[in-house]
Amino acid sequence: MIVTPTAIADVLVIEPNVFGDDRGFFFESFNHAKFEAAIGKPVKFVQDNHSKSAENVLRGLHYQTQQPQGKLVRVVQGVVFDVAVDMRKSSPTFGLWIGEILSADNKKQLWIPEGFAHGFVVLSKTAEFLYKTTDYYAPEFERCIAWNDPDIDIKWPINGAALLSAKDRLGKPFAEAECF
Tell me the CATH number at 40: 2.60.120.10
118, 131, 136, 137: which one is catalytic? Answer: 131
Split into its structural domains, the chain has a count of 1
- Please write the tens of the pLDDT for every residue from 107-144: 999 999 999 999 999 999 999 999 999 999 999 999 99
Please return the burial class of 76, using the count of CB atoms within 10 Å of its CB with bins 0-12, 13-18 and 19+: middle
Q: Work out the average pLDDT over 98-112.
A: 98
pTM of the entire structure?
0.95
Q: Work out the average pLDDT over 143-159.
A: 97
Q: Is 136 a catalytic residue?
A: no
CA 27 to chain centre: 21
d(CA 92, CA 25): 40
50, 62, 63, 118: which one is catalytic? Answer: 62
Does pLDDT of 159 surpass 90? no
Q: Is 137 a catalytic residue?
A: no
Q: Work out the average pLDDT over 8-16.
A: 95
DSSP 32-79: HHHHHHHHTS-----EEEEEEEETTBEEEEEEESSS---EEEEEEESE
* Mean pLDDT score across all residues of the chain: 97
Give residue 149's domain range: 2-176
- Please write the tens of the pLDDT for every residue from 36-92: 999 999 999 999 999 999 999 999 999 999 999 999 999 999 999 999 999 999 999
